[in-house]
Structure 1
Amino acid sequence: MASPELSVDSDRTSVRGSDHDNGALEKQAATAGVTDINASDVSSLHSANGRTKKIPLKLKIVSVVLVSLIGFGSHWSSGVTGAMKTALKKGMGINNTQYALVDATTDFIKSVLIIATGLYTDRIGGASTLVWGNLLFTAGSILVAASTTTRNFKFMLGAMVIQSLGDVATQVAQYKVFSSWFAPSDGFASTLGFELGLGKIGSFVGQTTANVIATNLGDFSWTFWMSVVMNVFTNLVTVGFYLFTRWCNKHYSSAGKADPATGEVLTENNRKLEWKQFARLPWQFWTIILFTGFQTTTATVFGTNATELAEQRFNVSSIKAGFYSALTQYMGFFLVPLLGLFIDMFGQRLTVMMVCGTGMFLSMSLIMWANTMSGTAAGFGFYAFAVSLGPTVIIDAIRTSMWYQDVFGSAYAVKICLNNVMSIIMRIVTGVIQDNDNNTYDHVVVVYVILAAGSLLVGLGLVIGGTHWVSPVELGRLQWSRKKRFANGELINAQCKAFETGTRALWNRRFSLFSLAVLSVLTLGAWACYFWGVATGHND
């Protein structure tokens, strides 16, 4: 049996190998006359420290289902907030800029804490973080519901802060869990697709029923109390998942969770905070972050305002507008699991990102220039398709671009940080534009088009760079199929070692630190926008 390749950095030693011949070894051991393989060699393939190495697929599926159910509640709540924009403004007596400040408060808290949360999620594990994160989120949702009942805007801002603290933790934790069970091209994208598809259903149900609940029960605050009920259910599932994880750790060794291509052991938590690994995230990772900075911001800001835009363009009630916007935003839920399966099997991550960026640009362009009812409907249709592609391919591309899985939580936290920073800036800017434009979207959509154009240009640049300008192992490996990635694990390990030593390691570290510095500047700019909203009295 070939010995595994060792890659050593200054702080830790990790075993990464491409030896996947355990099955063949077992057959040899079972063959009569073979004397160079003893019983202990064979048994070590099946157990470690008294725990079984091989984790059954059914347990992995149970893990995915439980985490997906946990995410369902938060998606339901997010769908409610967007659909209730008109009702919130009328019921709370606030304008567009103040409403934008409500959303921006959530984004502000996330931008402040998300990086530290990512580092500590890597340290203590996703399951533990999910427990306390969901408890905070539920407490915050209770206070938000109470603030809508008392019609107290300042109370709502404070409640949003508490809810955001929980949301920060759960966003990173659930995908950290997935990364510790599945490797790129070996189920990671498929599990993302399943969770995100179920999440779209949750968002759709939340958005379509929000105004129905408010109308039938006579007060919009009842919608937020229903969200509390959903969050209590989420907490019960979270406790069940935590107990399930503890049981698995007792009966199965971490050696059973390894990347089939590189041999890297997938970890749930680390022995310490990986500051040095965080400071030298690969440059390929930062190109994906640039794409999500444009694409996800477009989707988030537009999605928040989609119901109100539909009311104006289609001249319908808030209930119908909520249904139309929810349908166009979430009708692609069935595409998301299929996309995950496609990426796991065939790769083509850069191509999917380019298609996603193209769809976003076409959507926003139609909404801007074809501002008729039919033009808006067509724009919503393109948006539904494009927004279904984004999350799965972005998260999977982030994981695939990284050399080490044990800092995935920190890396994903960078993505969330940038998305929230951009959302703070864009939401306050577009809120001010709308307030000065007679509450219409005639000028706001210009911002949407600019952001969507950025996602298209970055996506196109990634495809060209990955196929023509850059070494295939560096950026082009994001295009690799399952078969090709498994066959070239040694190349990935060799490239990993090359980025840890010599001038390439120094260049990559400097590039990563520069990128983190740019993110810090953007974060400070977002905070300035947030406090400007507070100082100018928009939260009175």
Structure 2
Amino acid sequence: MAVTEKTHAVTDAELSSSSRTPSSHGDTSPQQTVLITAGNNNDQPSQPAQPANGIPFVWKLGAVLLVSAIRFGSSWSAGITGAMKTTIKKELKINNSQFSLLEASEDFMVLNLILWSGLVTDRIGGASAIMYGNIIFTIGSILVAAATQVRSFQFMIGGRVILAIGDIATQIAQYKVFSSWFPPNNGFASTLAFELALGKIGGFAGKSSANIIAKNTGNFAWVFWVAVFMNLFTNFATAGFYWFSKVARARFGNNVDPSTGEQLTEKNKRFEIKKALQLPWIFWTVLAFSLFQTSAAIVFTQNATELAEQRFNVDSITAGWYTSLVQYAGFFLVPCIGVFVDVLGNRLTLMTICAIGMVASMSLVAFATTPSGTAAAFAIYAVASSFGPTIIIDSIRTSMWHQSVFGSAYSLKIAMNNATNIIVRIVTGAIQDRDHNSYANVVIVYMALTVAALAVAVTLLSSSFCLSQNLRHLQWTRKQRRAEGASWNERRKSFEEGAQGEKNRRVSLICLGLLGLLMGGGWAAFLWGAVNGKTE
């Protein structure tokens, strides 16, 4: 039977008669009307309506734990290169520009392939993408470890390129999985935050132990071989989740957003390019904040260990402990932020708080160069940076009309951040070499990025109150989203049809064009860095 764009109103009582699976949340009234928009599920065959959150809570909890185990293993490897910046430069006999090129090589591959990966993830599903991606990631990690064993800078760049191809698949797929199990204001932010918190613990363990392993073994290559073993653990967890997800979908079908009636799909029957090209302008405003905040956090973290060595006048092991605490000490805050967002919303308010903290931290790094000033900056950064990932990813999901293209939408965010990261890394590496390895001018770049993020956050927050009703739904609480489900579907319809639909499609295409220019800038910066890196 063909699926039409017609919207049906179905009561909870009628829905519950089609299944006896209890909802994991008991806050829906039997009299509440749930809107089922068949047009949002044109990737699935026609089937009886299912109750909201049809997969039982215990199964959802199992999915969260398995994906979080995958995150723990992959995060172990993520921070070790930055933690060993001084050691790597010494052992491979490279300078800051070449080290930046090493880091940027991974960003460069992500930049080139991430958009295709988003489309493929939506098509084949998050569980499959994680499985294939982790296999490639493990092969890449073996090559990187081998490169450190033979002390080859060029070989290490090659290994990082292979590793990046695997990472491209996994970083989108993990969040695609959560988007298909949990809707906004109904578990998505909480489970996402729990996974991010475990990732912080894994990153802390990897980063803080990196220099200890290198010193005690007498060979820094062992740090990367330990990362290989962690990646093998990740593969076992991935295989377990793939089987678990397949059984859950076969037994319980898709979840349903209790506010809008949208079915949350694991994978699509075809590539949804049209929907991916027509993302609402609210989505692009969230990306504008991430453009500055995420890139500032990533590039600062890359260099934080070496900065700590210089500011605190300590060895690499002690500096690694300091910066590990800076980057990951806020792990206990992350689940709290997730629960807050799910229940009380106020995403734009939290964006502004995050940006204020980041500006304060980077200002202290730039101007308070004493050990006490730097310590205060690190402490503020540990708290402020904990807000960013949960708020940004949840806001991206909440801003979208169609969950079925979440992978494609999130890939745009990663492409944007990686293009910016390449530019900032190459530029700051050259600045640091010019300044004889000092961070005196590099930190000004970090501060400028955070100031820009604050300007975007304040603009969005103020606009949500006085200019745009469409931005206001980023502030909705769970109760408001449930009550406004009908108006949400009406707004979606107006965004896609008539003159308003044409206007929004034009805005989306303009934003895509600007993203293309930024990606071109990332290309140019990488090639410039490659040329200069060879001539040093």
Candidates 12, 16, 23, aligned match of 1:21: 12
Candidates 474, 491, 514, aligned match of 1:518: 514
Q: What does residue 4 of structure 1 align with?
A: none
In 2, the alpha carbon distance for the partners of 1:467 and 1:495 equals 18
**21 and 535 in structure 1: CA distance in 2 versus 1, 3 angstrom threshold:** same
Counterpart AA for 2:211: N
Can you list the C-alpha shifts for 1:161-205, whole angstroms capped at 9, x where unaligned? 100000000000000000000000000000111000000101111
RMSD: 1.9
1:12 is displaced (CA, Å) by: 7.4
Structure 1: runs of 5 or more not aligned: 1-10, 30-47
Counterpart AA for 1:337: P
In 2, the alpha carbon distance for the partners of 1:477 and 1:497 equals 16
1:193 partnered with 2:184? no
Q: What does residue 481 of structure 2 align with?
A: 485
Q: What does residue 163 of structure 1 align with?
A: 163
Candidates 437, 440, 445, aligned match of 1:439: 437
In 2, the alpha carbon distance for the partners of 1:16 and 1:220 equals 61
**181 and 539 in structure 1: CA distance in 2 versus 1, 3 angstrom threshold:** farther
Q: What does residue 279 of structure 2 align with?
A: 281
- Comparing 336-345 with 49-58, which one deviates more in the overlay? 49-58
**101 and 433 in structure 1: CA distance in 2 versus 1, 3 angstrom threshold:** same
Counterpart AA for 2:174: Q
Q: What does residue 498 of structure 2 align with?
A: 502
Q: What does residue 398 of structure 1 align with?
A: 396
Counterpart AA for 1:66: L
1:537 is displaced (CA, Å) by: 3.8
Contact 2:291 2:417 (C-alpha < 8 Å) held by counterparts? yes
1:22 is displaced (CA, Å) by: 2.7
- Comparing 79-88 with 186-195, which one deviates more in the overlay? 79-88
Structure 2: runs of 5 or more not aligned: 21-45
1:534 is displaced (CA, Å) by: 1.6
Can you list the C-alpha shifts for 1:479-530, whole angstroms capped at 9, x where unaligned? 0000110011000000000011111111111111011111111101111111
In 2, the alpha carbon distance for the partners of 1:488 and 1:18 equals 14
1:538 is displaced (CA, Å) by: 3.6
Q: What does residue 261 of structure 1 align with?
A: 259
1:15 is displaced (CA, Å) by: 6.9
1:536 is displaced (CA, Å) by: 2.6
Can you list the C-alpha shifts for 1:246-287, whole angstroms capped at 9, x where unaligned? 111221122xx0101000000001111111111110000000
Q: What does residue 138 of structure 1 align with?
A: 138
**208 and 14 in structure 1: CA distance in 2 versus 1, 3 angstrom threshold:** farther
Please show how residues 386-465 of structure 1 align to structure 2 within 5 Å: 386-465=384-463
Candidates 330, 351, 354, aligned match of 2:352: 354
Q: What does residue 32 of structure 2 align with?
A: none
Q: What does residue 43 of structure 2 align with?
A: none
In 2, the alpha carbon distance for the partners of 1:106 and 1:299 equals 17
**60 and 81 in structure 1: CA distance in 2 versus 1, 3 angstrom threshold:** same
Q: What does residue 6 of structure 1 align with?
A: none
**431 and 131 in structure 1: CA distance in 2 versus 1, 3 angstrom threshold:** same
Contact 1:15 1:265 (C-alpha < 8 Å) held by counterparts? no
**171 and 533 in structure 1: CA distance in 2 versus 1, 3 angstrom threshold:** same
Please show how residues 26-37 of structure 1 align to structure 2 within 5 Å: none
Contact 2:361 2:380 (C-alpha < 8 Å) held by counterparts? yes
1:407 is displaced (CA, Å) by: 0.4
Please show how residues 44-83 of structure 1 align to structure 2 within 5 Å: 54-83=54-83
Contact 2:15 2:49 (C-alpha < 8 Å) held by counterparts? no
In 2, the alpha carbon distance for the partners of 1:139 and 1:424 equals 24
**249 and 323 in structure 1: CA distance in 2 versus 1, 3 angstrom threshold:** same
In 2, the alpha carbon distance for the partners of 1:266 and 1:117 equals 20
- Could you tell me the TM-score, scaled by structure 1's length? 0.91
**24 and 405 in structure 1: CA distance in 2 versus 1, 3 angstrom threshold:** closer
Please show how residues 462-473 of structure 1 align to structure 2 within 5 Å: 462-471=460-469
SS in 1 for 2:301: helix
1:359 is displaced (CA, Å) by: 0.7
In 1, the alpha carbon distance for the partners of 2:508 and 2:323 equals 39
In 1, the alpha carbon distance for the partners of 2:49 and 2:535 equals 56
**12 and 450 in structure 1: CA distance in 2 versus 1, 3 angstrom threshold:** farther
SS in 2 for 1:446: helix
Counterpart AA for 1:102: L
**213 and 504 in structure 1: CA distance in 2 versus 1, 3 angstrom threshold:** same
Candidates 298, 301, 307, aligned match of 1:300: 298
Contact 2:79 2:203 (C-alpha < 8 Å) held by counterparts? yes
1:146 is displaced (CA, Å) by: 0.2
Counterpart AA for 2:72: F
**24 and 528 in structure 1: CA distance in 2 versus 1, 3 angstrom threshold:** closer
1:532 is displaced (CA, Å) by: 1.2
Counterpart AA for 2:472: G
Q: What does residue 245 of structure 1 align with?
A: 245
Contact 1:19 1:263 (C-alpha < 8 Å) held by counterparts? no
1:81 is displaced (CA, Å) by: 1.5
In 2, the alpha carbon distance for the partners of 1:419 and 1:49 equals 39
Counterpart AA for 1:121: T
In 1, the alpha carbon distance for the partners of 2:477 and 2:156 equals 48
Can you list the C-alpha shifts for 1:17-45, whole angstroms capped at 9, x where unaligned? 66452389659x9xxxxxxxxxxxxxxxx
SS in 2 for 1:536: helix
Contact 1:71 1:195 (C-alpha < 8 Å) held by counterparts? yes
Counterpart AA for 1:179: S
- Could you tell me the TM-score, scaled by structure 2's length? 0.92
Contact 1:15 1:263 (C-alpha < 8 Å) held by counterparts? no
Contact 2:98 2:533 (C-alpha < 8 Å) held by counterparts? no
